[in-house]
Structure 1
Amino acid sequence: MTWDILTIIGTIAFAISGAMVAMEEEYDIFGVYILGMITAFGGGAIRNLLIDVPVSALWSQGLFFQIALLSVTAAILFPNNLLKHWHVWGNFTDAVGLSAFAIQGALYATEMNHPLSAVIVAAVLTGSGGGLVRDVLAKRKPLILKDEIYGVWAALAGLILGLNLMNSPLYLLILFAIITSLRVLSYTFHWKLPSIKLQKQSHDEKGNNIA
């Protein structure tokens, strides 16, 4: 039951997120639906490939496809003035999707008795895979690759569930609230991970390195 609730929450959040990004990029109505659907189900498809679940398993999720379609339709019908505030509540929607799908992906992997490393990977890919595909298709720098803290929270959810620290329905909902809150705090207060930069070497006219 908790799994289904998290899947529904994640599906709605990412479908709307994909649709809003598509409208920001001025896609036509078909493109809005496509990007919304890909964002909602892209992470699950990538996860299934890596933990040896048939990709065709996605086609058995008829209810979730309907939910995603309705979510995209609702996004299209929103008044245009709401788009002005997308930078505020759009980030929140993405945080909800990240948290819900990360937990769902980790649960999927633990149900199949995969090791801790696989559970963490499943959480990261399910939580951020859809957003990664969305940003690539929209020609944006993926959030997971920025110095902004994003995928780390999905990995944290996978670690906690892989270690079996929180496994009851109530604890899963608490974990969902915690991961969502951490993501919101990280973009609100601009928490960043240390970045690694290579120092470029300059050369003189003869091609010698100059320190």
Structure 2
Amino acid sequence: MILNVLSIVGSVAFAASGAIVAMDEDYDIFGILVLGFITAFAGGMMRNLIVGIPVAAVWHQTGAFIAVLAALGITLVVPGRLLKWGWKLMVYFDALGLSTFAVEGALYAERIHVSAGTVMVAAAMTGAGGGVIRDLLAQRKPLILRSDTYAIWALLAGAVIGLRWVSPHVAWQVYVVLAGTFVLRVLSIVFHWHLPHVESPNRDKAQAVDK
């Protein structure tokens, strides 16, 4: 039940973020639907590859498919004047998708009794996979590769579950981890928390060439 709920919530959140990015890039209706669907389910495919579940199992999530269709339909009929808030909405939908899929990926990996490190990798790939594919298709720099804490919170959620700091079989504890991951991601957006840069010795040369 917990996995089903997380799958639906994460799919809807990432579908909405993909649709908003597609609108921001001036995609047509077909492009919006395609990017929304790919963003919603790409993370689940990566999770299945990591934990040894057939990738085709993603297509058996009837509830998630219906929810994603409904979310994309609502997104398409939202008045255009509201889309000026699209970027802000995308960031928060993305944070919700990251949180839910990270926890879901960690639970799937923990269920097959792998190491805590593998649980963390599954959480990060499941949580960030959809966003990475979305950004690449929209020709944007993926959030996970920027000076951002994007993947850190997914790894942290995986560590909490993989190290058994909470019980993966107690629903309220799982939802606390999800809520905590979401709050930390939102705080990192609001307060502009970033990972440090490493200066490239060729950066000045590259900038000079561009000029």
**If the TM-score is normalised by the length of the shorter chain, which range does it land in?**
over 0.9
Flag the 1:9–1:202 CA change in 2: closer, same or farther, 3 A: closer
Contact 2:15–2:68 (CA under 8 A) maintained in structure 1: yes
Distance (whole Å) between structure 2 residues aligned to residue 201 and residue 153 of structure 1: 29
- CA 85–164 in structure 1, closer or farther in 2 if over 3 Å, else same: same
Q: Which runs of 5+ in 1 are unaligned?
A: 204-211
Q: Report sequence identity in percent.
A: 45
Distance across 1 between alignment mates of 2:200 and 2:79: 46
Q: Which residue of 2 aligns with 1:192?
A: 194
Shift of 1:102: 0.2
1:193 CA drift (Å): 0.7
User: CA shift at 1:2, angstroms?
Assistant: 2.0
Structure-2 change in CA distance of 1:89 and 1:57 (3 Å) = same
Rate the CA distance shift 1:202–1:62 in 2: closer, same or farther, 3 A: closer
Please name the residue that 2:128 is paired with. Answer: 128
Q: CA RMSD in A?
A: 1.5
Distance 1:63 1:38 in 2: 16
Q: Deviations over 1:79-118 (max 9, x none)?
A: 1111111222221111111000000000000011111111
Distance in 2 (alpha carbons) for counterparts of 1:200 and 1:107: 43
Alignment correspondent of 1:110: 110
Q: How many residues align?
A: 203
Which residue number corresponds to residue 26 of structure 1?
Answer: 26
Shift of 1:197: 2.2
- Residue 53 of structure 1 aligns to a residue whose secondary structure is coil
Larger Rg: 1
Segments of 5+ residues of structure 2 without an aligned counterpart are 206-211
Provide the C-alpha distance between the structure 1 equivalents of 2:56 and 2:189, rounded to a whole number of angstroms.
Answer: 35
2:203 and 2:91 mapped to 1: Cα distance? 38
Paired residue for 2:184, among 166, 169, 182?
182
1:37 is matched with which residue?
37
1:3 is displaced (CA, Å) by: 1.8
Q: Which amino acid aligns with 2:137?
A: L
Normalised by the length of structure 2, the TM-score is: 0.92
Which of 154-163 and 46-55 deviates more? 46-55
Distance 1:90 1:180 in 2: 14
